[in-house]
Amino acid sequence: MQERLNVNPEDRLAGRYPDERGHFGPYGGTFIAETLARPVAELRAAWERYADDPEFVAEFEDELRHYVGRPSPLYHARRWSKTFGGAEVWFKREDLNHTGAHKINNTVGQALLAKRMGKTRIIAETGAGQHGVATATVAARLGLECVVYMGAEDIERQAPNVFRMKLLGAQVVPVESGSRTLKDALNEAMRDWVSHVDDTYYIIGTVAGPHPYPTMVRDFNAVIGREVRSQMLDQAGRLPDACIACVGGGSNAIGLFHAFLDDEQVRLYGVEAGGSGIDSGRHAAPLTAGRPGVLHGNRTYLMQNDDGQISPAHSVSAGLDYPGVGPEHAWLKDSGRADYVVITDDEALAAFHRCVRTEGIIPALESSHALAFAAQLAPRMQTGDIIVVNLSGRGDKDMKTVAAVEGIGL
Amino acid sequence: MSRIARRFESLAERGRTALIPFVTAGDPDASTTLTLMHEMVDAGADILELGIPFSDPMADGPVIQRAGERALAAGMHFEGVLDIVRAFRKRDRQTPVVLMGYLNPLEAAGGVESGVRAAAAGADGFIVVDLPPEEAQDFAPAVNEAGIDTIFLLSPTSNDERIARICALARGFVYYVSLRGITGAAGLDAEEVAQRVAHIKAMTDLPVGVGFGIRSPEDAAKVARVADAVVVGSAIVSRIEEAIAGQSDASRGGDRSRAIGDAVVPVVVDFVADLRAAIDKIDGVSADAHASTDESGGGS
């Protein structure tokens, strides 16, 4: 069993970042109002304590095994691979986790931490509703009060997930400010937290926010890459040649990448949402088309105008609809360790359909971005090369969106 | 000595508590903001605080959020805020102007360079809400060098170590947030504020301003008993919002803009005058005392 979650002593690159104040090179850090300084410091202290605590780690791993259903399979998508030739593609089946996505890894971990800290009320932001559902789920499991902030526009678009959260006992609060989407829900959750610091724990859903969130959320998701590494060695006898994951905030991607940071022969690709195309301006690709700035507590690449106002993001997949990205991705991009590419709505939808028809797996539209890039990359690689795609979530939630694109009303 | 330090020194000599009203620059338009600045000074404001609008104001309540949205919709940006300050300085070279906002628009305006430009325009201080002392070690001294006082927030939950660290970087004054929450929230606990302000004053020679949650002349009076400055934001901005809403039937174009300006200014001026009167009552200052010119010859 692992002694520590937050630093794997064997990881050289991985162990060097962030510094003690959460900086990944020039990115990350703690850019918060003074009113949040104490709760963030308390969280940091709790995280530092429990990330090293064998009992905490054992409980987390037990929950992952028996509640989440880990390890998730690593599946060789033979038929899908044959359709384009070149490398063989394997899927990391995070879609088979409880609640249908990787998001639950993080919410289980943070909720256990919240319990340790004596908090009785959980808050979260959500875009598509996946993180909100994963949070409401663990709150129900642990008997904690739960409030989820969700953009009013997203509430209209994601009615089934809103109903799921309510079924699970969460209060879903519509956010009417700003662009009425994920970034505004995050602002609102921060405002709630600052107003209820004594009893409330804020579960951020991605590897963004003030330190320690980017590191902590990464460490709870790093189980994905650790499993892939050992499963690959078991099933194929070697490491993959490339790992691919979609990047919104970037938690599933960092979860996959982290275990491979020091395996320099393993190429890492993060796939941003290109929306209607980078040139259209309607996209969600800050690493590709944004520039560094400060939002939501950390320095990172942002979609912003010349005045430093944050631009609204656009993607067919609500889970990638975020104008920022986790600071570690910003650092991996600048350092050249990972490459970040763009897939448009149309390309993602085409990959979605091909995956459904050849493998009988309905992927989330988010994950379909990673699939679409794999379809481009595989033919350029050698026969026998191996690509791992993080199939970060299942697509049941996207039926309405996909049908609407086809002109079908559900 | 900075314009802010001079102003506090002059007020202290006369036993007076500073009144610092806040408005968002460009809410509802730049010319109304400029008019408000002069009129608020005439009504008894000692220092002016101008909000630089930002798309994602994490520490602000709904009233200031909506003001920022109105200002952004009207095209306001950092350079536009400086234009307002430059215009203000043509007539008023004594009243300090503090710019309050978030880090990203300042970084987009060049980071430290934004401080150089602000100082050149006649601004005196920055309150950068999401720039805590840990991340301000380079920025604060650099903009101080340019002539901008860096004013930091202290909260009810700041411990002594943080208070000391913040006061070491702070210039002009320190700004105590009088509640656990966002701007404009309810629940001013006058007794707690008194205790905390006394505690902070024992740790620094800087003047201590108090803001967040001061909604009425009565609140202002309670705070004036203990603080060197009373900051009022949301209560003013919500009056601006109501006045704008009241003009929703006004015709479009220039007439509409003038009608809104005409509606906004008197309600704000009346409220600032009420705040001033309530504070003066505590200070024991007669109403005509603040008509006297102070620190004459000051201003750069």
Choose from B64, B114, B130 for mutation: most chain A CBs within 10 A. B130
| B89-128 pLDDT, tens digit each | 999 999 999 999 999 999 999 999 999 999 999 999 999 9
Contacts with A255 (C-beta within 8 Å, 6 or more apart), sequence order:
A102, A105, A218, A221, A222, A223, A224, A225, A245, A390
Give the tens place of pLDDT for each residue, B240-277. 999 999 887 666 666 778 888 899 999 999 999 999 99
Q: Which residues in chain B are closer than 8 Å to A307, comparing Cβ atoms?
A: 77-78, 105, 108-109
pLDDT in the model for residue B295: 58
Q: Which helix (H) or strand (E) holds B149?
A: strand B149-150
The rounded radius of gyration (Å) of the Cα atoms in chain B is 18
Contact yes or no for A33 and B130 at CB 8 A:
yes
Taking a C-beta distance cutoff of 8 angstroms, is the pair A253, A329 a contact?
Answer: yes
A294 contacts B58? CB cut-off 8 A: no
* Contact call for A38 and B159, based on CB within 8 A: yes
pLDDT single digits (tens) B7-34: 999 999 999 999 999 999 999 999 999 9
Q: Measured between beta carbons, which residues in chain B are less than 8 angstroms from residue A37? A: 132, 155, 157-158, 162
pLDDT at B299: 40
Residue A379 DSSP class: G
Cα distance from B45 to chain A (closest Cα, Å)?
A: 26
Please check whether residue B164 touches A, CB under 8 A: no
DSSP state letters, A268-317: EEEEEEEET-GGGT-SB-HHHH-EEEEETTEEEEE-B-TTSPBPPP--SS
Three-class SS of residue B208?
strand
Q: Do A294 and B177 touch (CB under 8 A)?
A: no
Active site members of A = 103, 125, 392
What is the set of active-site residues of B? 49, 60
Contact call for residues A216 and A293 (beta carbons, < 8 A) = no
Nearest to A34 among B60, B107, B152 (CB): B152
Axis-axis angle for helices B30-42, B254-283 (nearest 10): 30
Q: What is the pLDDT of residue A6?
A: 45
At residue A287, the pLDDT reads 98
Residues from A in contact with B at Cβ < 8 Å:
21, 29-35, 37-39, 177-178, 183-184, 187, 190-191, 194-195, 197, 293-297, 302, 304, 306-310
**Percent of all residues in chain B with a pLDDT value above 90, rounded to a whole number:** 82
**Average pLDDT for runs of 10 along chain A of length 410:** 43 69 96 95 95 94 98 97 95 98 98 97 94 98 97 87 97 93 93 93 97 97 98 98 98 97 96 97 97 98 98 92 96 96 98 97 97 98 97 93 88
CB contact under 8 A, A191 and B72: no
Q: What is the pLDDT of residue B256?
A: 79
Q: How many residues does chain A have?
A: 410
DSSP string, A224-271: HHHHHHHHHHHHHSS--SEEEEEESS-HHHHHHHGGGTT-TTSEEEEE
Nearest to B175 by CA among B147, B156, B195, B148: B156
pLDDT confidence band for B181 (50 / 70 / 90): confident
Q: Which residues, other chains included, contact B205 with Cβ-Cβ below 8 Å and sequence gap of 6+?
A: none
**Chain A residue with the nearest C-alpha to that of B159:** A38
CB contact under 8 A, A307 and B78: yes
Question: Does B155 contact A38 at a Cβ distance shorter than 8 Å?
Answer: yes
Q: Is A251:A207 a contact under the CB 8 Å cutoff?
A: yes
Residue A354: what pLDDT? 96
Render pLDDT for B284-294 as a digit per residue (tens, 0 to 9). Answer: 875 555 544 45
Between B109, B130, B155, which is nearest A294 by CB?
B130
Q: What is the pLDDT of residue A12?
A: 45
Asked if the Cβ–Cβ distance from B104 to A297 is below 8 Å, we say no
**A-chain residue closest to B60, CA distance:** A191
Do residue A178 and residue B65 have CB atoms under 8 angstroms apart?
yes
Among A142, A145, A250, A264, CA closest to A204: A250
B232, two tokens: 């009022």
At B164 the pLDDT is 97
Write out chain A residues lying below 8 Å of B108, CB-based: 293, 304, 306-308
The whole-angstrom distance between A58's CA and the closest CA on chain B is: 33
Dihedral angle sign, alpha carbons of residues B275, B277, B283, B287: positive
DSSP state letters, B31-75 = HHHHHHHHHHHHTT-SSEEEE---S--TT--HHHHHHHHHHHHTT
Interface test with B, best of A202, A307, A322 (most B CBs within 10 A): A307
**Bigger pLDDT: A47 vs B180:** A47
B256 contact A CB<8A: no
Contacts of B177 in chain A (CB under 8 A): 34-35
Q: Please give the pLDDT value at position B280.
A: 96
pLDDT at residue B64 is higher than 70? yes
Please, which residues have CB within 8 angstroms of residue A357's CB and are 6 or more apart in sequence?
A: none
Give A19's contacts in chain B (Cβ within 8 Å): none
Residue B236 touches partner A, C-beta closer than 8 Å: no
Q: Which amino acid appears at position B14 of this protein?
A: R
